[in-house]
Amino acid sequence: MKIKITKLNFMMTVLWLSIFPFYIPWEKLFYVFQFIVSVMILIYSIREIIKIQGIFLCGLYPMVIIISCLINRHKILITQVFRGTTLALLVFDIFLLVHKYIRVKNKEDLLRLCFKLSNFYMIMNVLWTIAIYLVGNVDQKIATGFLFSKSKFNVAYMCIFFLMFYWMVWSGNKMLSKRHKRKLFLCLGIVSILLCVAVKTATGTIIVTLFVSLTYLSGKSFKIINNPVILVVNVLISMFVIFSLNIFISVPAVQNIITGLFHKDLTLTGRLRIYELIYPLLMRAGLFGNGYGSYVVESLEYHGWYNAQNGLSEIILNYGFLGAGSFLLMVFVSAWKSKTCIPALNIAIMVFIVGAIVEVPYTERFILLLALLMFLDTDSNKREIFIE
């Protein structure tokens, strides 16, 4: 599975590096790198706009992000305007470059490259985690983001991408034939779960376990994600459910799982308190929100939190109800334009939505899943690389 060095592969690699964070001592340098990559890829792929049906509908979300940052430029730091603009460009870049890669080369080469990159990240995360356990002071290192993927949640998301691309691409090698694929997937899934446990992310452990279980058992099913209405409804449910979590947690069996299995308190590490604070903030978000990250400083950070701990709520607070609406439109169009059911990809999207109940995974990584959903399809002349 050799990867040739071409301009297209180089662009896809630097895009990957910009949307999957990695540890460097100078964090601001990474933000500069992201901005340079976002502009470079936009210039390289800009002509794809005329070749993608529905791209303007998908482009409304990044446009609202930029408008929100500009409107709130006097209330937020210039670095927040900078990072918000970079995020918007990367969202647009992902759709353009994924489409260009598939159009110029093919789907199989794209997936192979992504599998190689996720494989490298996975190996580095495992080795890095082993190293910090050998050195000691693990809790402090995890709390301060001294992990290869910077945060424990990023580690969990990377596990999902690695397992997803493995399931979609791997077809045996010199040591193991394809008939061992399911067994090897289960072994890699267990390693991924243990890695999440090691970096102490209960949410990550749950969603990776869910992904492994559903992918292993699903076969060729799981077409629900291809229905755009159902997909959008699930995203909405992932927000509204937080206002009824108290009822769910009052069930004794659920309490036993939270306190016994995951050793967490019944406030979900304080999340129930933040969900009480979020509702009035959502009502004041307006059409364009408060700009990239500004609400944190004014409200939630005072209570010890640095994000909304809910995916769609985070978007509303940052970019307003137009931001949320354009995000949901992008989700709808991605599913509407999808041409086939790819089980592992569909399950990855679903577990990201589940994770969005108590985390904020609707970042560039989720956009990459949507772009793959929108542009990947099967072809009778191609090998059965997607359907297992």
Q: What's residue 246's pLDDT?
A: 63
> What is the reported pLDDT for 262?
54
Show the DSSP H helices in the chain as ranges. Answer: 7-19, 27-45, 55-58, 60-71, 78-104, 107-135, 138-143, 152-169, 181-198, 202-218, 228-240, 245-249, 252-256, 271-283, 294-298, 311-336, 343-355, 364-375
Is there a contact between 8 and 105 (Cβ–Cβ < 8 Å)?
yes
Residues of the chain falling short of pLDDT 50: 296-297, 302-303, 378-388
Task: Kindly state the DSSP code that residue 309 receives in the 8-state scheme.
Answer: S
Q: At which residue do the structure tokens 């918000």 appear?
A: 84
pLDDT of residue 23: 93
Judge whether 131 and 157 are in contact, CB under 8 Å.
no
pLDDT score of 365: 96
| Residue matched to tokens 């910077």 | 150
| Whole-number pLDDT of residue 379 | 42
Cβ partners under 8 Å of residue 27, min gap 6 = none
pLDDT of 383 reads 42
Per-residue pLDDT at 258 = 60
pLDDT in tens, 261-313: 555 665 566 677 778 778 888 888 899 998 887 654 455 554 455 678 899 99
The position carrying tokens 């080469």 is 109
CA distance 92 to 368: 10
Largest CA-CA distance found in the chain, in angstroms, rounded: 60
**Token reading at 175:** 């040591």
How distant is the alpha carbon of residue 148 from its chain centre?
17
Round to whole Å and give the CA distance between 310 and 362: 9
Predicted TM-score of the model (pTM): 0.90
**Confidence (pLDDT) at 386:** 44
pLDDT of the residue at 189: 97
pLDDT of residue 303: 47
Q: How far apart are CA 29 and CA 45, in angstroms?
A: 24
**Distance of alpha carbon 381 from alpha carbon 388, whole angstroms:** 17
- Contact criterion met (CB below 8 Å) for 314 and 324: no
Task: Give 65-121 as a 3 state SS string.
Answer: HHHHHHHCCCCCCHHHHHHHHHHHHHHHHHHHHHHHHHHHCCHHHHHHHHHHHHHHH
Please give the pLDDT value at position 4. 73
Per-residue confidence (pLDDT) for residue 128, from 0 to 100? 97
Q: What is the pLDDT of residue 378?
A: 41
